[in-house]
Chains A and B, each alone.
Chain A
Amino acid sequence: MGFPVLLEVRGLEVSYGGIHAVKGVDLEVREGELVCLIGANGAGKSTTLRAVCGLLPARAGSVRYGGTDIAGVAMHELPRRGLVMVPEGRGIFPQLTVQENLAMGAYTRNDAGIAEDIERRYETFPRLKERRTQVAGTLSGGEQQMLAMGRALMARPKLLLLDEPSMGLAPRLVAKIFEIVRQIASQGVTILLVEQNARLALEVANRGYVMESGNITLSGEAEGLLESPKVREAYLGETA
Protein backbone atom coordinates (compact mmCIF):
# COMPACT_ATOMS: atom_id res chain seq x y z
CA MET A 1 0.00 0.00 0.00
CA GLY A 2 1.65 3.15 -1.15
CA PHE A 3 -1.03 5.52 0.10
CA PRO A 4 -0.13 8.09 2.73
CA VAL A 5 -0.81 7.37 6.37
CA LEU A 6 -3.95 9.21 7.52
CA LEU A 7 -4.02 8.13 11.15
CA GLU A 8 -0.97 7.13 13.11
CA VAL A 9 -1.20 6.07 16.74
CA ARG A 10 2.07 5.49 18.59
CA GLY A 11 2.52 4.13 22.09
CA LEU A 12 -0.95 5.20 23.17
CA GLU A 13 -1.73 4.64 26.84
CA VAL A 14 -5.02 5.53 28.50
CA SER A 15 -6.24 4.92 32.01
CA TYR A 16 -9.41 5.49 33.97
CA GLY A 17 -8.18 6.54 37.37
CA GLY A 18 -6.19 3.50 38.42
CA ILE A 19 -7.41 1.20 35.65
CA HIS A 20 -4.85 0.99 32.86
CA ALA A 21 -7.15 0.25 29.93
CA VAL A 22 -4.85 0.86 26.94
CA LYS A 23 -1.22 -0.02 27.46
CA GLY A 24 0.80 1.20 24.51
CA VAL A 25 -1.09 0.79 21.27
CA ASP A 26 0.50 1.33 17.85
CA LEU A 27 -1.67 1.37 14.79
CA GLU A 28 -1.99 3.17 11.51
CA VAL A 29 -4.63 3.67 8.88
CA ARG A 30 -3.71 4.67 5.34
CA GLU A 31 -5.87 6.72 3.03
CA GLY A 32 -8.57 4.63 1.40
CA GLU A 33 -8.15 1.67 3.73
CA LEU A 34 -10.80 -0.12 5.75
CA VAL A 35 -9.02 -1.27 8.89
CA CYS A 36 -10.68 -3.20 11.67
CA LEU A 37 -9.79 -3.41 15.31
CA ILE A 38 -11.16 -6.59 16.85
CA GLY A 39 -11.05 -8.04 20.32
CA ALA A 40 -13.16 -9.29 23.16
CA ASN A 41 -15.38 -7.17 25.34
CA GLY A 42 -13.23 -5.04 27.65
CA ALA A 43 -10.08 -5.30 25.53
CA GLY A 44 -9.79 -1.51 25.26
CA LYS A 45 -11.07 -0.90 21.73
CA SER A 46 -13.55 1.85 22.61
CA THR A 47 -11.05 3.47 24.92
CA THR A 48 -8.58 3.63 22.03
CA LEU A 49 -11.12 5.31 19.75
CA ARG A 50 -12.18 7.76 22.45
CA ALA A 51 -8.60 8.77 23.05
CA VAL A 52 -8.06 9.27 19.31
CA CYS A 53 -10.97 11.75 19.26
CA GLY A 54 -9.88 13.50 22.40
CA LEU A 55 -12.90 12.31 24.38
CA LEU A 56 -10.36 10.87 26.83
CA PRO A 57 -6.91 12.23 27.61
CA ALA A 58 -3.96 10.03 26.66
CA ARG A 59 -1.51 9.23 29.42
CA ALA A 60 1.29 8.66 26.97
CA GLY A 61 1.86 8.32 23.26
CA SER A 62 0.84 10.33 20.24
CA VAL A 63 -2.00 10.51 17.77
CA ARG A 64 -1.22 12.00 14.37
CA TYR A 65 -3.97 12.67 11.88
CA GLY A 66 -3.21 13.87 8.37
CA GLY A 67 0.40 14.38 9.41
CA THR A 68 -0.25 16.63 12.44
CA ASP A 69 -0.33 15.78 16.12
CA ILE A 70 -3.91 16.28 17.26
CA ALA A 71 -3.30 16.03 21.00
CA GLY A 72 -3.76 19.77 21.42
CA VAL A 73 -6.61 20.15 18.95
CA ALA A 74 -10.03 20.83 20.49
CA MET A 75 -12.35 17.91 19.94
CA HIS A 76 -14.96 19.99 18.15
CA GLU A 77 -12.32 20.92 15.56
CA LEU A 78 -11.87 17.33 14.40
CA PRO A 79 -15.03 16.94 12.27
CA ARG A 80 -14.05 20.15 10.47
CA ARG A 81 -10.83 18.36 9.52
CA GLY A 82 -12.68 15.26 8.36
CA LEU A 83 -12.28 13.04 11.42
CA VAL A 84 -15.68 11.79 12.56
CA MET A 85 -16.64 9.09 15.05
CA VAL A 86 -19.83 7.11 15.45
CA PRO A 87 -19.66 6.22 19.15
CA GLU A 88 -20.55 2.91 20.72
CA GLY A 89 -24.28 2.82 21.43
CA ARG A 90 -24.90 5.13 18.44
CA GLY A 91 -25.20 8.40 20.34
CA ILE A 92 -28.18 9.74 18.45
CA PHE A 93 -29.99 12.74 19.94
CA PRO A 94 -33.20 11.09 21.14
CA GLN A 95 -35.33 14.24 21.35
CA LEU A 96 -34.26 15.68 18.01
CA THR A 97 -36.07 14.59 14.87
CA VAL A 98 -34.37 12.32 12.37
CA GLN A 99 -33.85 15.29 10.08
CA GLU A 100 -32.40 17.44 12.89
CA ASN A 101 -30.01 14.62 13.78
CA LEU A 102 -28.79 14.56 10.20
CA ALA A 103 -28.48 18.35 10.19
CA MET A 104 -26.35 18.13 13.34
CA GLY A 105 -23.97 15.90 11.40
CA ALA A 106 -23.40 18.81 9.04
CA TYR A 107 -22.89 21.26 11.91
CA THR A 108 -19.38 22.20 10.85
CA ARG A 109 -20.37 22.82 7.25
CA ASN A 110 -21.83 25.99 5.83
CA ASP A 111 -21.92 25.17 2.15
CA ALA A 112 -25.03 25.04 0.03
CA GLY A 113 -24.97 21.27 -0.42
CA ILE A 114 -26.39 20.25 2.96
CA ALA A 115 -30.03 19.84 1.92
CA GLU A 116 -28.90 17.82 -1.08
CA ASP A 117 -26.73 15.63 1.13
CA ILE A 118 -29.67 14.96 3.44
CA GLU A 119 -31.66 13.80 0.40
CA ARG A 120 -28.77 11.53 -0.54
CA ARG A 121 -28.87 9.95 2.93
CA TYR A 122 -32.59 9.39 2.51
CA GLU A 123 -31.92 7.59 -0.75
CA THR A 124 -29.50 5.28 1.03
CA PHE A 125 -31.78 4.88 4.05
CA PRO A 126 -35.42 5.09 2.90
CA ARG A 127 -36.62 4.14 6.39
CA LEU A 128 -35.15 7.37 7.69
CA LYS A 129 -37.00 9.38 5.09
CA GLU A 130 -40.32 7.92 6.23
CA ARG A 131 -39.45 8.96 9.76
CA ARG A 132 -37.83 12.30 9.05
CA THR A 133 -40.11 14.32 11.35
CA GLN A 134 -40.19 11.70 14.09
CA VAL A 135 -37.94 12.12 17.14
CA ALA A 136 -35.00 9.76 16.86
CA GLY A 137 -35.59 8.13 20.24
CA THR A 138 -38.61 6.34 18.73
CA LEU A 139 -36.53 4.54 16.08
CA SER A 140 -35.61 0.87 16.36
CA GLY A 141 -32.01 -0.09 17.12
CA GLY A 142 -31.18 -0.77 13.49
CA GLU A 143 -32.73 2.49 12.34
CA GLN A 144 -30.81 4.37 15.02
CA GLN A 145 -27.56 2.84 13.80
CA MET A 146 -28.36 3.87 10.24
CA LEU A 147 -29.17 7.35 11.48
CA ALA A 148 -25.89 7.51 13.37
CA MET A 149 -23.94 6.47 10.28
CA GLY A 150 -25.94 8.75 8.00
CA ARG A 151 -25.34 11.61 10.42
CA ALA A 152 -21.59 10.96 10.46
CA LEU A 153 -21.52 10.99 6.65
CA MET A 154 -23.16 14.43 6.70
CA ALA A 155 -19.82 15.84 7.88
CA ARG A 156 -18.21 14.51 4.66
CA PRO A 157 -15.58 12.61 6.64
CA LYS A 158 -12.17 11.64 5.37
CA LEU A 159 -11.71 9.19 8.24
CA LEU A 160 -14.68 7.52 9.87
CA LEU A 161 -14.28 5.78 13.21
CA LEU A 162 -17.05 3.24 13.79
CA ASP A 163 -17.42 1.74 17.25
CA GLU A 164 -19.30 -1.56 17.11
CA PRO A 165 -21.98 -0.60 14.60
CA SER A 166 -23.46 -4.11 14.73
CA MET A 167 -23.84 -4.17 18.50
CA GLY A 168 -27.20 -5.44 19.70
CA LEU A 169 -28.70 -5.90 16.24
CA ALA A 170 -30.52 -8.91 14.79
CA PRO A 171 -28.39 -11.01 12.37
CA ARG A 172 -30.26 -9.77 9.31
CA LEU A 173 -29.52 -6.17 10.29
CA VAL A 174 -25.91 -6.98 11.13
CA ALA A 175 -25.37 -8.14 7.57
CA LYS A 176 -27.02 -4.97 6.30
CA ILE A 177 -24.83 -2.74 8.48
CA PHE A 178 -21.67 -4.44 7.18
CA GLU A 179 -22.94 -4.00 3.65
CA ILE A 180 -23.34 -0.27 4.35
CA VAL A 181 -19.84 -0.09 5.81
CA ARG A 182 -18.52 -1.68 2.62
CA GLN A 183 -20.47 0.85 0.52
CA ILE A 184 -19.15 3.82 2.48
CA ALA A 185 -15.61 2.53 2.06
CA SER A 186 -16.13 2.08 -1.67
CA GLN A 187 -17.04 5.77 -1.90
CA GLY A 188 -13.52 6.60 -0.81
CA VAL A 189 -14.02 7.17 2.92
CA THR A 190 -11.22 5.75 5.03
CA ILE A 191 -12.60 3.65 7.89
CA LEU A 192 -11.36 2.36 11.21
CA LEU A 193 -13.93 -0.20 12.31
CA VAL A 194 -14.07 -1.51 15.86
CA GLU A 195 -15.95 -4.79 16.15
CA GLN A 196 -16.50 -7.80 18.32
CA ASN A 197 -17.91 -9.64 15.35
CA ALA A 198 -14.45 -10.60 14.12
CA ARG A 199 -15.47 -12.70 11.14
CA LEU A 200 -17.67 -10.10 9.47
CA ALA A 201 -15.21 -7.34 10.29
CA LEU A 202 -12.27 -9.21 8.77
CA GLU A 203 -14.37 -10.08 5.73
CA VAL A 204 -14.99 -6.42 4.87
CA ALA A 205 -11.63 -5.03 6.01
CA ASN A 206 -8.32 -4.73 4.19
CA ARG A 207 -6.28 -5.03 7.33
CA GLY A 208 -6.91 -5.80 10.95
CA TYR A 209 -5.53 -5.42 14.44
CA VAL A 210 -6.33 -7.77 17.29
CA MET A 211 -6.51 -6.23 20.75
CA GLU A 212 -6.24 -8.11 24.03
CA SER A 213 -6.37 -6.50 27.46
CA GLY A 214 -5.01 -3.17 26.34
CA ASN A 215 -2.39 -4.38 23.84
CA ILE A 216 -2.29 -5.08 20.13
CA THR A 217 -1.32 -8.75 19.94
CA LEU A 218 -1.68 -9.45 16.23
CA SER A 219 -2.00 -7.46 13.05
CA GLY A 220 -1.87 -7.95 9.32
CA GLU A 221 -3.85 -8.36 6.14
CA ALA A 222 -7.46 -9.27 6.88
CA GLU A 223 -7.28 -12.49 4.82
CA GLY A 224 -4.20 -13.58 6.69
CA LEU A 225 -5.87 -12.97 10.04
CA LEU A 226 -8.93 -14.94 8.95
CA GLU A 227 -6.60 -17.87 8.28
CA SER A 228 -4.58 -17.46 11.44
CA PRO A 229 -5.11 -20.34 13.87
CA LYS A 230 -4.95 -18.02 16.84
CA VAL A 231 -7.71 -15.77 15.50
CA ARG A 232 -9.78 -18.76 14.41
CA GLU A 233 -9.61 -20.21 17.85
CA ALA A 234 -10.08 -17.11 19.95
CA TYR A 235 -12.43 -15.02 17.84
CA LEU A 236 -14.10 -17.16 15.22
CA GLY A 237 -15.19 -19.88 17.63
CA GLU A 238 -13.30 -22.63 15.80
CA THR A 239 -11.05 -25.23 17.34
CA ALA A 240 -7.61 -25.23 15.81
Chain B
Amino acid sequence: MDIFVQQLVNGLTLGAVYAIVALGYTMVYGIIQLINFAHGEVVMIGAMVAFTVINALAAGGMPPLVVVLIGTGCAIPVCMLAGYAMERLAYRPLRNAPRLAPLITAIGVSIILQHLAMLVWSRNVMAFPQIIPLTTYNFLGATITGVQIAILSLCFAMMTGLALLVYRTRLGTAMRATAQNPQVARLMGVDVNRVIAATFVIGAALGAVAGVMVGTYYGVAQYTMGSVLGMKAFAAAVLGGIGNIPGAMIGGLLLGVVEALGAGYIGDLTDLCRWGIGPEASCADGGHFILFGSNYQDVFAFVVLILVLVFRPSGLLGERVGDRA
Protein backbone atom coordinates (compact mmCIF):
# COMPACT_ATOMS: atom_id res chain seq x y z
CA MET B 1 0.00 0.00 0.00
CA ASP B 2 2.84 2.44 0.73
CA ILE B 3 3.90 2.46 -2.92
CA PHE B 4 0.43 3.87 -3.54
CA VAL B 5 0.85 6.68 -1.02
CA GLN B 6 4.39 7.27 -2.20
CA GLN B 7 3.33 7.61 -5.83
CA LEU B 8 0.45 9.80 -4.77
CA VAL B 9 2.87 12.18 -3.05
CA ASN B 10 5.22 12.17 -6.05
CA GLY B 11 2.30 12.58 -8.44
CA LEU B 12 0.80 15.50 -6.57
CA THR B 13 4.16 17.26 -6.49
CA LEU B 14 4.72 16.98 -10.21
CA GLY B 15 1.03 17.54 -10.87
CA ALA B 16 1.15 20.84 -9.00
CA VAL B 17 3.96 21.94 -11.31
CA TYR B 18 1.99 20.78 -14.37
CA ALA B 19 -0.94 22.80 -13.06
CA ILE B 20 1.18 25.95 -12.88
CA VAL B 21 2.40 25.44 -16.45
CA ALA B 22 -1.10 24.49 -17.63
CA LEU B 23 -2.38 27.81 -16.30
CA GLY B 24 -0.15 29.58 -18.80
CA TYR B 25 -1.71 27.63 -21.66
CA THR B 26 -5.26 27.98 -20.46
CA MET B 27 -5.16 31.70 -19.67
CA VAL B 28 -3.83 32.55 -23.11
CA TYR B 29 -6.28 30.20 -24.79
CA GLY B 30 -9.14 31.64 -22.74
CA ILE B 31 -8.43 35.17 -23.87
CA ILE B 32 -7.36 34.81 -27.52
CA GLN B 33 -8.11 31.15 -28.36
CA LEU B 34 -4.47 30.51 -29.16
CA ILE B 35 -2.60 27.40 -28.08
CA ASN B 36 0.73 28.98 -27.28
CA PHE B 37 3.00 26.05 -28.04
CA ALA B 38 5.99 28.17 -27.08
CA HIS B 39 4.92 28.27 -23.44
CA GLY B 40 6.94 25.13 -22.65
CA GLU B 41 10.01 26.96 -23.94
CA VAL B 42 9.34 29.82 -21.54
CA VAL B 43 9.41 27.28 -18.72
CA MET B 44 12.70 25.92 -20.05
CA ILE B 45 14.20 29.42 -20.21
CA GLY B 46 13.16 29.96 -16.60
CA ALA B 47 15.01 26.82 -15.54
CA MET B 48 18.10 27.63 -17.61
CA VAL B 49 18.42 31.19 -16.33
CA ALA B 50 17.88 30.10 -12.75
CA PHE B 51 20.40 27.25 -13.06
CA THR B 52 23.00 29.58 -14.52
CA VAL B 53 22.61 32.01 -11.66
CA ILE B 54 22.42 29.28 -9.01
CA ASN B 55 25.55 27.58 -10.34
CA ALA B 56 27.40 30.88 -10.35
CA LEU B 57 26.43 31.60 -6.75
CA ALA B 58 26.68 28.04 -5.42
CA ALA B 59 30.25 28.34 -4.23
CA GLY B 60 29.73 31.72 -2.61
CA GLY B 61 28.61 30.32 0.70
CA MET B 62 25.23 32.01 0.76
CA PRO B 63 22.40 30.02 2.34
CA PRO B 64 20.92 27.65 -0.31
CA LEU B 65 17.46 29.14 0.01
CA VAL B 66 18.80 32.60 -0.77
CA VAL B 67 20.70 31.25 -3.78
CA VAL B 68 17.58 29.58 -5.17
CA LEU B 69 15.51 32.69 -4.53
CA ILE B 70 18.00 34.88 -6.38
CA GLY B 71 18.02 32.41 -9.27
CA THR B 72 14.24 32.45 -9.42
CA GLY B 73 14.23 36.21 -9.07
CA CYS B 74 16.38 36.45 -12.20
CA ALA B 75 14.37 33.85 -14.13
CA ILE B 76 11.00 35.56 -13.59
CA PRO B 77 11.73 38.90 -15.32
CA VAL B 78 13.55 37.17 -18.19
CA CYS B 79 10.54 34.93 -18.80
CA MET B 80 8.09 37.82 -18.45
CA LEU B 81 10.06 39.66 -21.09
CA ALA B 82 10.03 36.57 -23.34
CA GLY B 83 6.26 36.24 -22.87
CA TYR B 84 5.71 39.91 -23.63
CA ALA B 85 7.98 39.83 -26.66
CA MET B 86 6.34 36.79 -28.24
CA GLU B 87 2.88 38.31 -27.87
CA ARG B 88 3.98 41.66 -29.17
CA LEU B 89 6.14 40.51 -32.06
CA ALA B 90 4.67 37.17 -33.12
CA TYR B 91 1.01 36.95 -32.12
CA ARG B 92 -0.38 40.49 -32.05
CA PRO B 93 0.24 41.12 -35.76
CA LEU B 94 -1.78 37.96 -36.46
CA ARG B 95 -4.67 38.77 -34.11
CA ASN B 96 -7.16 38.95 -36.97
CA ALA B 97 -5.58 36.34 -39.21
CA PRO B 98 -7.14 32.91 -39.76
CA ARG B 99 -6.59 30.76 -36.68
CA LEU B 100 -4.10 28.43 -38.31
CA ALA B 101 -1.59 31.28 -38.81
CA PRO B 102 -0.94 32.08 -35.14
CA LEU B 103 -0.95 28.38 -34.32
CA ILE B 104 1.82 27.64 -36.79
CA THR B 105 3.61 30.77 -35.62
CA ALA B 106 3.49 29.42 -32.07
CA ILE B 107 5.23 26.26 -33.21
CA GLY B 108 7.80 28.43 -34.97
CA VAL B 109 8.37 30.56 -31.87
CA SER B 110 8.86 27.39 -29.90
CA ILE B 111 11.53 26.13 -32.30
CA ILE B 112 13.28 29.50 -32.36
CA LEU B 113 13.39 29.76 -28.57
CA GLN B 114 14.68 26.23 -28.24
CA HIS B 115 17.50 26.88 -30.69
CA LEU B 116 18.35 30.21 -29.10
CA ALA B 117 18.62 28.38 -25.79
CA MET B 118 20.89 25.82 -27.41
CA LEU B 119 23.16 28.58 -28.68
CA VAL B 120 23.29 30.27 -25.29
CA TRP B 121 23.58 27.22 -23.03
CA SER B 122 24.87 24.52 -25.45
CA ARG B 123 23.43 21.06 -25.74
CA ASN B 124 24.84 19.98 -22.41
CA VAL B 125 22.74 19.10 -19.43
CA MET B 126 23.13 21.61 -16.64
CA ALA B 127 23.17 20.05 -13.19
CA PHE B 128 21.72 21.57 -10.08
CA PRO B 129 24.54 22.07 -7.59
CA GLN B 130 24.45 19.99 -4.43
CA ILE B 131 23.51 22.80 -2.13
CA ILE B 132 20.16 21.70 -0.76
CA PRO B 133 20.58 19.15 2.00
CA LEU B 134 18.24 16.19 1.56
CA THR B 135 15.66 16.32 4.29
CA THR B 136 12.93 13.69 4.39
CA TYR B 137 9.79 13.31 6.38
CA ASN B 138 7.55 10.36 6.91
CA PHE B 139 4.02 10.76 5.71
CA LEU B 140 1.55 7.85 6.03
CA GLY B 141 4.30 5.37 5.30
CA ALA B 142 5.66 7.34 2.36
CA THR B 143 8.70 9.56 2.21
CA ILE B 144 8.28 13.21 1.37
CA THR B 145 11.29 15.43 0.85
CA GLY B 146 11.76 19.02 1.86
CA VAL B 147 11.92 20.00 -1.81
CA GLN B 148 8.58 18.29 -2.45
CA ILE B 149 6.98 20.13 0.46
CA ALA B 150 8.41 23.41 -0.81
CA ILE B 151 7.15 22.77 -4.36
CA LEU B 152 3.68 21.79 -3.18
CA SER B 153 3.29 24.79 -0.89
CA LEU B 154 4.63 27.21 -3.47
CA CYS B 155 2.32 25.84 -6.17
CA PHE B 156 -0.73 26.09 -3.98
CA ALA B 157 0.24 29.60 -2.93
CA MET B 158 0.61 30.61 -6.59
CA MET B 159 -2.69 29.04 -7.56
CA THR B 160 -4.43 30.87 -4.72
CA GLY B 161 -2.74 34.10 -5.72
CA LEU B 162 -3.73 33.69 -9.34
CA ALA B 163 -7.33 32.85 -8.41
CA LEU B 164 -7.50 36.01 -6.30
CA LEU B 165 -6.04 38.04 -9.15
CA VAL B 166 -8.45 36.66 -11.74
CA TYR B 167 -11.61 36.60 -9.65
CA ARG B 168 -11.12 39.50 -7.25
CA THR B 169 -9.26 42.32 -8.97
CA ARG B 170 -10.07 44.90 -11.61
CA LEU B 171 -7.44 43.49 -13.97
CA GLY B 172 -8.79 39.97 -13.45
CA THR B 173 -12.35 41.06 -14.19
CA ALA B 174 -11.09 42.83 -17.30
CA MET B 175 -9.28 39.65 -18.34
CA ARG B 176 -12.44 37.59 -18.00
CA ALA B 177 -14.53 40.25 -19.73
CA THR B 178 -12.05 40.38 -22.62
CA ALA B 179 -12.14 36.60 -22.91
CA GLN B 180 -15.94 36.67 -23.18
CA ASN B 181 -16.37 39.61 -25.51
CA PRO B 182 -13.32 41.67 -26.48
CA GLN B 183 -15.28 44.25 -28.48
CA VAL B 184 -17.62 45.07 -25.64
CA ALA B 185 -14.69 45.10 -23.22
CA ARG B 186 -13.17 47.81 -25.43
CA LEU B 187 -16.46 49.70 -25.38
CA MET B 188 -16.20 49.65 -21.57
CA GLY B 189 -12.78 51.27 -21.81
CA VAL B 190 -10.56 48.20 -21.50
CA ASP B 191 -7.29 48.47 -23.39
CA VAL B 192 -7.58 44.95 -24.75
CA ASN B 193 -4.01 44.84 -26.04
CA ARG B 194 -2.66 45.57 -22.59
CA VAL B 195 -4.89 42.98 -20.97
CA ILE B 196 -3.75 40.34 -23.46
CA ALA B 197 -0.11 41.29 -22.91
CA ALA B 198 -0.66 41.09 -19.16
CA THR B 199 -2.07 37.59 -19.58
CA PHE B 200 1.06 36.43 -21.41
CA VAL B 201 3.32 38.08 -18.85
CA ILE B 202 1.52 36.57 -15.86
CA GLY B 203 1.54 33.12 -17.48
CA ALA B 204 5.25 33.48 -18.22
CA ALA B 205 6.05 34.47 -14.63
CA LEU B 206 4.25 31.36 -13.38
CA GLY B 207 6.11 29.34 -16.02
CA ALA B 208 9.46 30.70 -14.81
CA VAL B 209 8.80 29.50 -11.28
CA ALA B 210 7.57 26.16 -12.61
CA GLY B 211 10.81 25.81 -14.59
CA VAL B 212 12.91 26.37 -11.49
CA MET B 213 10.80 23.89 -9.53
CA VAL B 214 10.91 21.12 -12.07
CA GLY B 215 14.64 21.66 -12.60
CA THR B 216 15.29 21.53 -8.88
CA TYR B 217 13.12 18.44 -8.53
CA TYR B 218 14.95 16.43 -11.18
CA GLY B 219 18.29 18.10 -10.52
CA VAL B 220 18.90 18.84 -14.21
CA ALA B 221 17.96 21.36 -16.88
CA GLN B 222 18.50 21.25 -20.62
CA TYR B 223 17.37 23.26 -23.64
CA THR B 224 14.99 20.48 -24.70
CA MET B 225 13.20 20.13 -21.37
CA GLY B 226 10.35 22.44 -22.37
CA SER B 227 8.89 20.24 -25.10
CA VAL B 228 7.65 17.23 -23.16
CA LEU B 229 6.85 19.28 -20.08
CA GLY B 230 4.91 21.74 -22.23
CA MET B 231 2.98 18.99 -23.97
CA LYS B 232 2.10 17.39 -20.65
CA ALA B 233 0.92 20.69 -19.23
CA PHE B 234 -1.09 21.26 -22.39
CA ALA B 235 -2.63 17.81 -21.91
CA ALA B 236 -3.46 18.83 -18.34
CA ALA B 237 -5.12 22.02 -19.57
CA VAL B 238 -7.20 20.05 -22.06
CA LEU B 239 -8.08 17.52 -19.38
CA GLY B 240 -9.42 20.30 -17.16
CA GLY B 241 -11.12 22.10 -20.05
CA ILE B 242 -8.91 24.46 -22.04
CA GLY B 243 -9.63 28.07 -21.18
CA ASN B 244 -10.88 27.16 -17.73
CA ILE B 245 -8.63 28.27 -14.87
CA PRO B 246 -9.81 25.94 -12.09
CA GLY B 247 -9.81 23.24 -14.78
CA ALA B 248 -6.09 23.69 -15.42
CA MET B 249 -5.38 23.36 -11.70
CA ILE B 250 -7.41 20.18 -11.33
CA GLY B 251 -6.20 18.81 -14.66
CA GLY B 252 -2.55 19.32 -13.68
CA LEU B 253 -2.90 17.62 -10.31
CA LEU B 254 -4.89 14.75 -11.79
CA LEU B 255 -2.44 14.22 -14.61
CA GLY B 256 0.50 14.15 -12.19
CA VAL B 257 -1.25 11.52 -10.08
CA VAL B 258 -2.26 9.38 -13.07
CA GLU B 259 1.27 9.54 -14.38
CA ALA B 260 2.87 8.63 -11.06
CA LEU B 261 0.47 5.79 -10.31
CA GLY B 262 0.83 4.56 -13.86
CA ALA B 263 4.60 4.57 -13.56
CA GLY B 264 4.36 2.87 -10.18
CA TYR B 265 2.23 -0.01 -11.37
CA ILE B 266 2.87 -0.43 -15.07
CA GLY B 267 5.86 -2.73 -14.52
CA ASP B 268 3.87 -5.02 -12.28
CA LEU B 269 0.87 -5.06 -14.54
CA THR B 270 2.79 -5.77 -17.73
CA ASP B 271 4.90 -8.48 -16.15
CA LEU B 272 3.99 -11.40 -18.40
CA CYS B 273 5.17 -13.85 -15.72
CA ARG B 274 2.53 -12.49 -13.41
CA TRP B 275 -0.13 -13.47 -15.92
CA GLY B 276 1.50 -16.84 -16.54
CA ILE B 277 2.32 -16.18 -20.19
CA GLY B 278 5.95 -15.13 -19.89
CA PRO B 279 8.83 -17.12 -21.38
CA GLU B 280 9.77 -19.92 -18.97
CA ALA B 281 13.45 -19.07 -18.93
CA SER B 282 12.69 -15.63 -17.54
CA CYS B 283 9.87 -16.55 -15.22
CA ALA B 284 11.58 -19.44 -13.46
CA ASP B 285 12.28 -18.86 -9.73
CA GLY B 286 9.98 -15.87 -9.46
CA GLY B 287 11.68 -13.96 -12.29
CA HIS B 288 10.03 -11.24 -14.37
CA PHE B 289 9.36 -10.47 -17.98
CA ILE B 290 8.27 -6.88 -17.97
CA LEU B 291 6.81 -5.48 -21.17
CA PHE B 292 6.65 -1.81 -20.18
CA GLY B 293 8.79 -0.40 -17.41
CA SER B 294 8.33 2.86 -15.52
CA ASN B 295 10.34 4.57 -18.27
CA TYR B 296 7.02 4.58 -20.09
CA GLN B 297 5.72 7.14 -17.59
CA ASP B 298 5.65 9.92 -20.19
CA VAL B 299 3.12 7.96 -22.21
CA PHE B 300 0.34 8.35 -19.68
CA ALA B 301 -0.11 12.07 -20.22
CA PHE B 302 -0.73 11.47 -23.88
CA VAL B 303 -3.00 8.48 -23.28
CA VAL B 304 -5.02 10.76 -21.04
CA LEU B 305 -4.97 13.50 -23.69
CA ILE B 306 -6.27 11.13 -26.35
CA LEU B 307 -8.95 9.70 -24.07
CA VAL B 308 -10.17 13.19 -23.17
CA LEU B 309 -10.21 14.29 -26.79
CA VAL B 310 -12.22 11.21 -27.74
CA PHE B 311 -14.67 11.01 -24.86
CA ARG B 312 -14.96 14.51 -23.44
CA PRO B 313 -13.34 17.05 -25.75
CA SER B 314 -14.54 19.93 -23.61
CA GLY B 315 -12.57 18.61 -20.63
CA LEU B 316 -13.69 18.07 -17.05
CA LEU B 317 -14.83 21.62 -16.31
CA GLY B 318 -15.26 23.11 -19.77
CA GLU B 319 -18.86 23.26 -20.86
CA ARG B 320 -18.59 24.61 -24.34
CA VAL B 321 -15.90 24.36 -26.93
CA GLY B 322 -15.71 26.93 -29.70
CA ASP B 323 -19.12 28.27 -28.83
CA ARG B 324 -19.17 31.11 -26.40
CA ALA B 325 -22.42 32.86 -25.58
Contacts and interface: CB of A to CB of B under 8 A. Distances in A.
B94 interface: no
A53 B187 contact: yes
Contacts of B1: none
Interface in B168-205: 170, 173-174, 176-177, 180-181, 183-192
A75 B187 contact: yes
Contacts of A105: 188
A75 B193 CA distance: 12
A79 B191 contact: no
A103 B173 contact: yes
- Counting chain A residues whose Cβ lies within 8 A of the other chain, the interface size class is 20 to 34
Given A93-B180, A107-B174, A137 B325 contact: yes
Contacts of B183: 55, 87, 91
A104 interface: yes
A224 interface: no
Nearest to A83: B187
Nearest to B195: A76
A196 to B, nearest CB: 21
A93 B184 contact: yes
Contacts of B174: 104, 107
Contacts of A77: 189
Contacts of A107: 170, 174, 188-190
A192 B188 CA distance: 17
Contact of B192 (A76, A92, A100, A108): A76
A94 interface: yes
Contacts of B190: 76, 104, 107
A95 B186 CA distance: 17
A91 B181 contact: yes
Contacts of B189: 76-80, 107-108, 155
A117 to B, nearest CB: 14
A84 interface: yes
A91 B184 contact: yes
B186 A76 contact: yes
Contacts of A53: 187
Contacts of A79: 187-189
Contact of B187 (A84, A94, A96): A84
Given A75-B187, A85-B187, A155-B188, A100 B173 contact: yes
B191 A96 contact: no
- Counting chain B residues whose Cβ lies within 8 A of the other chain, the interface size class is 10 to 19
Interface in A68-91: 74-80, 84-85, 87, 91
Contacts of A75: 186-187
B187 A95 contact: no
B194 to A, nearest CB: 9
Contacts of B185: 93, 104
A74 B189 CA distance: 9
Nearest to B173: A100
A104 B181 contact: no
A79 B189 CA distance: 6
B184 A96 contact: no
Given A76-B192, A105-B188, A155-B189, A96 B325 contact: no
A104 B188 contact: yes
A39 B173 CA distance: 37
Interface in A9-45: none
A170 to B, nearest CB: 21
Contacts of A55: 183, 186-187
A230 B48 CA distance: 75
A93 B192 CA distance: 15
Interface in A184-228: none
A95 B181 CA distance: 10
Given A55-B183, A94-B180, A104-B185, A74 B173 contact: no
Contacts of B325: 94-95, 137
Nearest to A100: B173
Contact of B176 (A76, A92, A96, A155): A96
A87 B176 contact: no
B77 to A, nearest CB: 27
Interface in A114-131: none
Instruction: Name the residue in A76, A84, A151 with the highest tally of chain B Cβ atoms < 10 Å from its Cβ.
Output: A76
Contact of B173 (A85, A91, A96): A96
Contact of A96 (B177, B186, B192, B324): B177
Contacts of B186: 55, 75-76
Interface of B: 170, 173-174, 176-177, 180-181, 183-192, 324-325
9 contacts: A74-B191, A91-B181, A95-B176, A96-B180, A103-B170, A104-B177, A104-B190, A107-B170, A137-B325
By Cβ-Cβ distance, the 6 closest A-B pairs, closest first, are: A108-B189, A91-B184, A79-B189, A94-B325, A93-B180, A107-B189
